[in-house]
Amino acid sequence: MSFEIILVFIILGVTILLFATEALPIDKIAFLIIVALVLSGLTTPEEAISGFSSSATITILMLMILAIGLEDNGVIDLLTQSIKKLKILPMVLMVPAFMLISASISSFISTTAVVVIFIKIIAQLSEKYNFSAPKLLMPISFAGILGGSCTLMGTSTNLLVNSVAQKLGAEQFSFFEFTLYGLILLATGIVYMTFASRWLPKSNNNDLTETLVDNTFMFSLTLKPESKLIGTPISDAKFYKNPDIRVLKLIRNDIVNDNPGPNTTLRVNDKLVVLSDVKAYASISKEDFRLTAEKELSFPENINEDEENDTDKTTYSYVELLILPGSEFIDKSFSEIKNLLYNVARPLGIQNRRQFQKGMRLNLPKIIKNTNLQAGDKLLLKAKEEEINHLYSIDNTIVLLHHEEDYNINPTKRTLSLIALIMVVGLAASGVLSILSSALAGVGLLLITNCINLSKIYKKVNWQIIFLLAGMIPLGVAMHNSKTDIWISEVLLNALTGQDNLIVLGVLFGITMILSGFISNNATAVIITPIAITLAAGLNLPAKPFILAVMFAANFSFFTPMGYQTNTLIYGTGIYKFRHFFIIGGLLSILLLIVGTLLLSTMLPDL
């Protein structure tokens, strides 16, 4: 083992450790990889930054922009409209039906964008038809990933593996070359999840509708000095008899009254912690109370609590923001949020996922501003219309509802965006243009027709993924330059001496799947693809089945919510526990490993 190989293993080990522990953001890890490769001499400076100009990186960036245009112009919503019209079906039929729709759309559009739309749709339908939403959401996420594995442009992993393999001398894949295998794996997943969904949580235990549709938030209000309610019973306040408002606590001179009765006399600077929906809150704010946060959080003067006092014609909206794992808001107090959202939005209230149950049995902190946010909590924000797009761009959050907003989708732009999608798929699938060229043409069409705004694109693009690719691609180059890939493949060959080629293929599939469950699927793809190609060469076998094993396995780490971004999204809603992924998703991963290995073995000449 050479010194260069030892250096590569050190960098690989530290990288995997950082990814697995989430000690640093993935984009920072990627940048540090570039620095380490340059300083260690494992790559030239030009090779170290080659990831930024890689065809895979640029293609994925273009497809991200295309997906943003499709979502902003209502194309994804249009494609999912038929779902909203579905009448209630037996769950045994609903699961495969929804999975097929999710998989079909995800074959050509960003899986993450599709699942975000489905989260909202499922929440609405479950409330309307009173079915168990958790039994559908995980199958839909899994189906989106499986559907994305049916085409070359379906996932970023597919594009990345294809690009890395091509640079190493392997033959590139055509658009639909592995679609048949993908469809068989998709069918396997649909059949399995149709039966496995019965073991997913029921609504009465973990209610998605409550998390995503319920507009009830916790507010802290302070009685104004000039209020007419001073010296009167709390029951004299107009909102007290409102069934949508509940007084939870009264705080006076830091003394907390956990159950203020209707005859409790109000005094100056009394603070009330109330439970209220958005519409009812609007009526409170116009009475004798002010939002405590307005003074205590010291918000910018250009954002005023009472809109009747506004001197300009600024339009404000209420936005509900779901906090996901990895969000910068986690463990931040209500008071600290103002620093993160300075001049963008004002936090008005929170909905704590673990405390807000149907019975409203709460264990609230003394003052709302000291509540630390956790994954699954919701923030109610008030923001200027022109700042709404910034909220959509915040990493590891989802804008669930945008109150008092008329989306006004332009039919012409929606049609042009749909044409752009069809053009990209058609040109790439027919072989007239490469995926990169067709994606560039599609984004160009959206720009020329003003279907997308670059200033919004800059905010909405997931730059973490772009930096991740830019950092991992040169790591693959370093593995090849130092012959680390050859060393690892030789170790595997020696360990598997005398074993059938089917076993070797299965081991590669399993190693990739396990590694992808703990670090990024894209990072796994870059690390394992060179090894797979070298392993195939050592066995004098065609490289394509080994490359496809990496491509599929990197996507199929269903046993952990961190294996794929869509799984992280649904995990963040709070309706699933880790064990649901480990057991239900783990069994699916094992099943797909077996089926996938058998399928790909048909490409081997001696089987």
User: pLDDT per residue over 29-50, tens digit each?
Assistant: 999 999 999 999 999 999 999 9
Q: What is the pLDDT of residue 305?
A: 40
Q: What is the pLDDT of residue 11?
A: 94
Distance of CA 33 to the CA centre of its chain: 24
The span from the CA of 42 to the CA of 3, in Å, is 10
Q: What is the pLDDT of residue 296?
A: 33
Q: What are phi and psi of 294, to 5 degrees?
A: -60, -40
- Is the model's pLDDT at 299 over the cut of 50? no
CATH T-level fold of 215-403: Alpha-Beta Plaits (3.30.70)
The span from the CA of 590 to the CA of 162, in Å, is 24
- Is the model's pLDDT at 377 over the cut of 80? no
Q: What are phi and psi of 107, to 5 degrees?
A: -65, -20
- Say how many C-beta atoms besides its own lie within 10 A of residue 235's C-beta: 12
* Average confidence score pLDDT of the chain: 81
> Does residue 593 or residue 17 have the better pLDDT?
593
Which among 539, 417, 534 is positioned nearest to 113, based on CA atoms? 417
Q: What is the pLDDT of residue 328?
A: 80
Q: What is the pLDDT of residue 352?
A: 66
- Which residues pair with residue 322 across a beta bridge? 378, 398
Cβ-contact 555, 148 below 8 angstroms: yes
- Is the model's pLDDT at 206 over the cut of 50? no
> Does residue 96 or residue 380 have the better pLDDT?
96
What does 398-417 look like in DSSP terms, one character per residue? EEEEEET------HHHHHHH
The span from the CA of 82 to the CA of 387, in Å, is 31
- Is the model's pLDDT at 376 over the cut of 90? no
- Is the model's pLDDT at 363 over the cut of 60? no
- Say how many C-beta atoms besides its own lie within 10 A of residue 309's C-beta: 7
Distance of CA 566 to the CA centre of its chain: 5
Range list for CATH 3.30.70.1450 in the chain? 215-403
Q: What are phi and psi of 5, to 5 degrees?
A: -65, -40
Please tell me the number of Cα atoms within 13 Å of 467 on its side-chain side. Answer: 15
> Does residue 273 or residue 104 have the better pLDDT?
104
- Is the model's pLDDT at 360 over the cut of 50? no
Band of residue 315 on the pLDDT scale cut at 50, 70, 90: low
Can you tell me the mean pLDDT for 98-107?
92
The span from the CA of 419 to the CA of 539, in Å, is 46
Range from 192-196, 263-267, 272-276, 323-327 carrying the lowest mean pLDDT: 323-327
Band of residue 304 on the pLDDT scale cut at 50, 70, 90: very low
Range from 296-300, 409-413, 490-494 carrying the lowest mean pLDDT: 296-300
Q: Hey, CA dihedral for 251, 255, 261, 265, is it positive or negative?
A: negative
Cβ-contact 225, 197 below 8 angstroms: no
Residue carrying structure tokens 């922009």: 65
Can you tell me the mean pLDDT for 312-336?
72
- Say how many C-beta atoms besides its own lie within 10 A of residue 450's C-beta: 11
- Report CA-CA distances (Å) from 40 to 3, 43, 50, 472: 11, 8, 17, 16
User: Which helix (H) or strand (E) covers residue 383, if one does?
Assistant: strand 378-384
Band of residue 316 on the pLDDT scale cut at 50, 70, 90: low
Can you tell me the mean pLDDT for 513-536?
91
The span from the CA of 102 to the CA of 139, in Å, is 9
Q: What is the pLDDT of residue 127?
A: 67
Cβ-contact 296, 335 below 8 angstroms: yes
Instruction: Quote the percentage of the chain above a pLDDT of 70.
Output: 82
Can you tell me the mean pLDDT for 135-152?
93
Band of residue 505 on the pLDDT scale cut at 50, 70, 90: very high
Give me 194's structure tokens: 């149709």
- Is the model's pLDDT at 25 over the cut of 90? no
> Does residue 277 or residue 298 have the better pLDDT?
277
Which among 544, 393, 421 is positioned nearest to 67, based on CA atoms? 421
pLDDT in tens, 416-441: 999 999 999 999 999 899 999 999 99
Supply the DSSP symbol for 199: G
- Is the model's pLDDT at 83 over the cut of 80? no
Give me 200's structure tokens: 């997913």
> Does residue 344 or residue 585 have the better pLDDT?
585
Q: Hey, CA dihedral for 126, 131, 134, 139, is it positive or negative?
A: negative
Cβ-contact 214, 279 below 8 angstroms: no
Q: Which three-class secondary structure state does DSSP give residue 222? A: strand
> Does residue 377 or residue 48 have the better pLDDT?
48
Name the residue type at position 571.
Answer: Y
Give me 257's structure tokens: 């009254």
Phi-psi region of 604 (alpha: psi -120 to 50; beta: other; left: phi over 0): beta
Q: What is the pLDDT of residue 340?
A: 79
Q: What residues contact 312, with CB distance under 8 A and at least 6 apart?
A: none
Q: What is the pLDDT of residue 293?
A: 42
Supply the DSSP symbol for 265: B
Q: What is the pLDDT of residue 331?
A: 80
